[in-house]
Structure 1
């Protein structure tokens, strides 16, 4: 095993402390076991809907299979906003944040490599999100490629608070990465790009779901992306990176439509400019040789938008529903006109699998290389002390991606 100078010095220091320890000194104190002598750290706790409070917590020693991370930044996700508004999962009190990244400051003695075989060392920049599912999950047992559908899927930032560990989400100064977690070393990426890896995994998974549904997605395919929030914009970017040359973006915000164009959309439709869905669908048909789009990605999280999208898809086409990560209600469709007569394929996309993270960060790197300004999705940055303001800005849909920086 190779050790760098910092690791050697730490080992020597620990040995000398043990040698010089008196006979009654049997327990290591926090400043002797945590790098830098840190005994505590701050985290933003969601105590109740719309109530975030910065709390100082003790920082415990990590176990042999854990990793201690000094958090650098974390994006505010739509799921975080749903938790902030109404705590729909009943998690409060909870430290949110799953679109984050940070620097490794301590590695448990049993941890050697990340999830793709890269060595994990102090100073590495990492991302993590999903903890592996339990052995009792029947879905994962019989179809490991569908482990994202396990009822016990656990994600950092959506974990219940624990008496012995409050650092379970990225909206804190530290994160303790547990055993059996997915971990990826991404030293070559900027902190902004690292904050986009988790949402990028969502759109990469959606693209794979669309391909697996039998959809024809190639250079000549005409695709509609409905909704230009952060996920919709990344959906456009991943489609352009994949090689789709005919992308129609639909949204009601001109600023977001302009960003959609910079990320690869060829045609822009502001639904507010049309009297109703029939008129807007006619516009889509005019851009697709009178037939409608081959495929559509629904990324709004608005039920009526899902039912409207069927009107924009040609016979034999398909739809991937990406936007409904919480129950937004029901909508009406016409099974004959919308599905059967058109023989449309409808597929859902739910989160992602841990093994899709490498695909996500390679997509972001490739997108930058071909000139797509994916990092421009980050329009607002706030320090941890102003996290409530960050959430309110996101709630008002000002800008696109809001990031909380942990300093």
Structure 2
């Protein structure tokens, strides 16, 4: 299965929003790795940083594809369908031995960040980072099992461990793709009331379509058992902290270049509260995530996704940054 040299086209981010396509030769697949035909690579809000700053590798980390070839010691059959687990975990540290691969203490690379990712026709990844997709889950749904559902579900699972019972009221602050994933997951986990807030009326309407209610009061204290802050904005963070009940959990999923701060007022100092920060998801949760996607994945895909091709990547990012597209999917243009 270790193929001869093939021609590949991939995107490079040059900084300041500029995208360049380069055609290169890919040699035989390295030992322990597989070569995927990229069928879907979804845009992520974190990719905007690379778009602005530039990247030395091919970006794109929400990848679903099909095995085209495998290197030595990679026991993966051709045409295996799967999604790409982006932390290149070591498999040998105590965290990895317990299945908590997102907590690997030795990993240095994230696929799409420190090594080539999926804004290309083909990508080589470690075989251990390929999560095989069930036959009944289409790849355009399976890809949501990474950031959109995988990250959301892991953060919520950590938060639920802090509570004595399933939360009665949960607030989602920020209704981008990840926030909408949180809405869908929280509903599936049995949270009685899921409220959502976003200043963009269109995004808020999508949260309501997925089963949330519009949050109408972000000023009163002691309202929610769990708040999930997905915007990364200081105002959103302050609101999530303000409305939490004593003993509740604030889940911090939003990314920002600003420091995360806690209030210095008497009310906050006198409140029991869990602050939960999570990263990605461990491989031990994959089976549960497939079950979630079987339940609502197609509906979530239909709410989020807009299909484009690799040559349209720069235009896709322009529309994505402007807020005109919620979750662009770059779909395969390679020959199968």
User: TM-score, normalization: structure 1?
Assistant: 0.74
> Which of these two proteins has the greater Rg computed from alpha carbons?
1
Helix, strand or coil at the partner of 1:169: coil
Report the CA distance between 1:217 and its aligned residue: 4.8
The answer on whether the counterparts of 1:148 and 1:351 sit within 8 Å (CA) in structure 2 is no
Equivalent residue number for residue 202 of structure 1: 151
Equivalent residue number for residue 218 of structure 2: 280
Pair 179,375 (structure 1): closer, same or farther in 2 beyond 3 Å: closer
Helix, strand or coil at the partner of 2:214: strand
Equivalent residue number for residue 244 of structure 1: 191
Q: Structure 2 unaligned runs (5+)?
A: none
Report the CA distance between 1:146 and its aligned residue: 6.9
Counterpart CA distance in 1 for 2:299 and 2:164 is 27
Given the alignment, which residue of 242, 259, 264 partners 1:334? 264
Given the alignment, which residue of 365, 373, 397 partners 2:294? 365
Pair 354,153 (structure 1): closer, same or farther in 2 beyond 3 Å: farther
The answer on whether the counterparts of 1:197 and 1:361 sit within 8 Å (CA) in structure 2 is yes
Equivalent residue number for residue 282 of structure 2: 353
Alignment partner of 1:66 is 2:33: yes
Superposed, which structure 2 residues align to 1:1-400 within 5 Å?
34=3, 39-87=6-54, 92-112=55-75, 120-134=76-90, 140=95, 145=100, 147-148=102-103, 150=105, 152-160=107-115, 168-199=116-147, 200-212=149-161, 214-218=162-166, 221-265=168-212, 267-269=213-215, 280-282=218-220, 291-324=222-255, 326-331=256-261, 333-334=263-264, 336-338=266-268, 340-368=269-297, 373-400=299-326
Report the CA distance between 1:356 and its aligned residue: 2.9
The answer on whether the counterparts of 1:377 and 1:401 sit within 8 Å (CA) in structure 2 is no
Pair 307,147 (structure 1): closer, same or farther in 2 beyond 3 Å: same
The answer on whether the counterparts of 2:89 and 2:101 sit within 8 Å (CA) in structure 1 is no
Report the CA distance between 1:122 and its aligned residue: 1.5
Pair 141,400 (structure 1): closer, same or farther in 2 beyond 3 Å: closer
The answer on whether the counterparts of 1:126 and 1:187 sit within 8 Å (CA) in structure 2 is no
Pair 97,186 (structure 1): closer, same or farther in 2 beyond 3 Å: farther
Runs of 4+ deviating beyond 4 Å: 141-144
Counterpart CA distance in 1 for 2:86 and 2:301 is 23
Counterpart CA distance in 2 for 1:294 and 1:224 is 8
The answer on whether the counterparts of 1:45 and 1:55 sit within 8 Å (CA) in structure 2 is yes
- The count of residues paired between Structure 1 and Structure 2 equals 332
Pair 319,181 (structure 1): closer, same or farther in 2 beyond 3 Å: same
Pair 184,142 (structure 1): closer, same or farther in 2 beyond 3 Å: closer
Pair 179,125 (structure 1): closer, same or farther in 2 beyond 3 Å: closer
Report the CA distance between 1:216 and its aligned residue: 4.0
Counterpart CA distance in 1 for 2:101 and 2:82 is 25
Pair 197,147 (structure 1): closer, same or farther in 2 beyond 3 Å: closer
Q: Structure 1 unaligned runs (5+)?
A: 1-9, 11-32, 113-119, 161-167, 271-278, 286-290
Report the CA distance between 1:153 and its aligned residue: 4.5
Pair 259,351 (structure 1): closer, same or farther in 2 beyond 3 Å: same
User: TM-score, normalization: structure 2?
Assistant: 0.89
Helix, strand or coil at the partner of 2:48: helix
Helix, strand or coil at the partner of 1:238: helix
Pair 252,158 (structure 1): closer, same or farther in 2 beyond 3 Å: same
RMSD over aligned Cα atoms: 2.6
Pair 107,141 (structure 1): closer, same or farther in 2 beyond 3 Å: closer
The answer on whether the counterparts of 2:88 and 2:126 sit within 8 Å (CA) in structure 1 is no
Helix, strand or coil at the partner of 2:14: strand
Counterpart CA distance in 1 for 2:207 and 2:135 is 28
Report the CA distance between 1:350 and its aligned residue: 1.9
